[in-house]
Amino acid sequence: LYVDFFCLSDGSIKKSTRSSTSENLDCNLCPHGWKNFNSKCYYISKHRYNTWTQSKDYCTAHRAHLVIIDDEDEKNFINKHVTTDYWIGLYREARMSAWTWVDNTPLGENRFWQKGQPGNLYYYSKECVISNAAGWKKESCYSDSFWVCETEALIF
């Protein structure tokens, strides 16, 4: 008997045999407890607060990184699952340095800052970014918050 498996966009696997019968199964594109969206997996912390560095280290230990928000769809997906502040992978080392993502790419377009953010005042030796439904705001990297990790989904 010949069997094909196809991963569908809704997160299920379509199993079809040569006899043309088929059934849908779960498609585990992401680790258990992670959410799948647009070929990426997201871990959303809900029971513990961490500093930005602790959050970054948690993500790295799980073969991921703090989330890099690429577009409004991704931001909206995360905000649908997180109802409070959460760390994202955006930071800057010093007052005049550029905002940089954890993968070392520059921020580019600043479309998701909250009104009045990031501002010109520099309060901390290193500034990190917290996000929520209202947008992004800079914060001391030593503050505690929830966080979101991101990694690529498995591809079949």
Q: What domains are defined for the chain? A: 1-30 (no CATH), 32-152 (3.10.100.10)
Residues with Cβ < 8 Å from 59, sequence gap 6 or more?
43, 65, 66, 147, 149, 150
- Please state the pTM of the whole predicted model: 0.79
With vertex at residue 88, the alpha carbon angle to CA 39 and CA 12, rounded to the nearest 5 degrees, is 20
More confident residue, 16 or 96: 96
Q: Give residue-wise pLDDT tens across range 20-34.
A: 455 555 565 898 899
Question: What is the DSSP-derived secondary structure letter of residue 106?
Answer: B
CB count in 10 Å sphere of residue 62: 14
pLDDT of residue 2: 47
Q: Which of 25, 30, 32 is nearest to 7 (CA)?
A: 25
